Amino acid sequence: MTNSKDIVIFCGVLMSCVLYPVTFILIVLLAFLMIQFNRFVKNREFILALAILFLISFKNTLLSTDIKENILGLSFVLFQVCYYIKEDMSLYTIVSRLSFFPQMYCGPVVKPSGFARKKKMNIKSLALYHIIFSIGLFYKTYITYITHYNYSNDDSFLNSIYWWAYMYSDFLSWSLMGIGIAGLSGFKMPVSFKSPFFSKNISQFYRRWNTTIYQWCMDFIKIKIYNKFWAYTNIGIATGSLALWHGVGFNFIFFGVFNFIYFFLQNRMKKHNKLLWASQIFYYSFIGFIFNGFLPNHFIPVSLNWLYILLWVLSVFIMLFFDYKSFSLVRRTINHHPLVVIILCLAFVAFTLFFRKVDGQFYYAQF
């Protein structure tokens, strides 16, 4: 049965329908509207993208927490609509792609061409996706827990750095688990993060951070300007759009303006590598306060458990090591002992589900 692409997609759609029926109903309605009005919108992608961004900002700003929980995954669905409006597809085809279980909730934003399926899965491929899922599960249940504890319990100047570590570990965990499940189903989903904290400037950082969302911004929220100076506005528009995704607020608008100014300044110092690296470290240390609209109350941590600070340092080291080196180590391990890798990963997942507390929305692990 799993050799059939249609059956696998249908099972993924069925899980989304059962777990998030409200989101699924909205997807069906969106698909119907796309088919009815695609001829009027097909050559107006920029207007459509602005409307989509407005809807996402409205959802994340004004709707209550209970309503948001019932429509989880709708943001990524709306992002993908802009790509599907150009395609001539049936209602079922659009619904099945937009509501495909592994990528509906946390992305990535998958284009219609991204649903090509591998015809054969060997044991090394299975081992690879088992370990990708397990690493994501490890990030979610251990590293995200530690980084969130420090971020939520410290109001010092380190808060911005704690925030980055928490955001990255949380987003990366969901992304890896989604890629792992999709891979085990035979679908290769695009990577959402490409070692963002090894970037030398913010332009490179945002190309590596949530890559499919950034690409969406560059595909649709982009102004064709041929003057060199004003071309910098595209990076400001892209980063501002990424911020407005989270909601409409003064801090998010200021975030976009600040990124535009910072990109311009870094572009001026691009020939001075040491100065560029220093400016990037300063950016990580400061930008979290702008994004969250928060000012630190202390210069150094005063209320944190020092054990958690040490665990946080260890967690950051693990994340950076994973970005820099571990994938090549994983490849070598899989090539030599694929069956052992699968057994160890299944044992870890079973241990995590039985002995670690998993929240109610954590349906990847339940799956």
69-122 per-position pLDDT tens digit: 667 777 888 888 888 887 788 888 888 888 887 877 777 888 888 777 777 778
Q: Report the pLDDT averaged over residues 297-314.
A: 77
Residue 358: pLDDT over 70? no
Q: Report the pLDDT averaged over residues 29-54.
A: 77
Amino acid at residue number 38:
N
pLDDT at 93: 87
Lowest average pLDDT, out of 204-218, 227-241, 278-292, 353-367, goes to 353-367
For the four alpha carbons of 61, 111, 164 and 239, in that order, the dihedral sign comes to negative
Closest CA to 166 of 186, 140, 148, 192: 148
Q: Please, which residues have CB within 8 angstroms of residue 327's CB and are 6 or more apart in sequence?
A: none
Structural domain spans, the chain: 5-105
Residue 344: pLDDT over 90? yes
The Cα–Cα gap between 110 and 144 comes to: 25
- The residue that leads in pLDDT, 235 or 54, is 54
DSSP labels, 152-178: HH--BTTHHHHHHHHHHHHHHHHHHHH
Q: CB–CB of 353/365 below 8 Å?
A: yes
Q: CB–CB of 130/345 below 8 Å?
A: yes
Q: Report the pLDDT averaged over residues 222-244.
A: 65
Angle subtended by helix axes 250-268 and 233-244, to nearest 10: 150
Q: How far is CA 305 from CA 146, 156, 352, in A?
A: 11, 14, 25
- The residue that leads in pLDDT, 187 or 62, is 187
pLDDT averaged over the chain?
Answer: 80
Structure tokens at 344: 């160890």
* Helix ranges, the chain (H): 5-19, 21-41, 45-62, 65-70, 74-84, 91-98, 101-104, 123-138, 144-153, 159-184, 202-208, 211-220, 233-244, 250-268, 273-292, 306-321, 327-336, 338-355, 363-366
| pLDDT tens-digit map of 152-189 | 887 778 888 889 999 898 888 888 888 888 888 888 88
Q: Report the pLDDT averaged over residues 49-60.
A: 76
Instruction: Please tell me the number of Cα atoms within 13 Å of 80 on its side-chain side.
Output: 28
Q: Report the pLDDT averaged over residues 232-236.
A: 67
Q: CB–CB of 245/53 below 8 Å?
A: yes
According to DSSP, residue 256 is labeled: H
Q: CB–CB of 348/133 below 8 Å?
A: no
Q: Please, which residues have CB within 8 angstroms of residue 313's CB and are 6 or more apart in sequence?
A: none
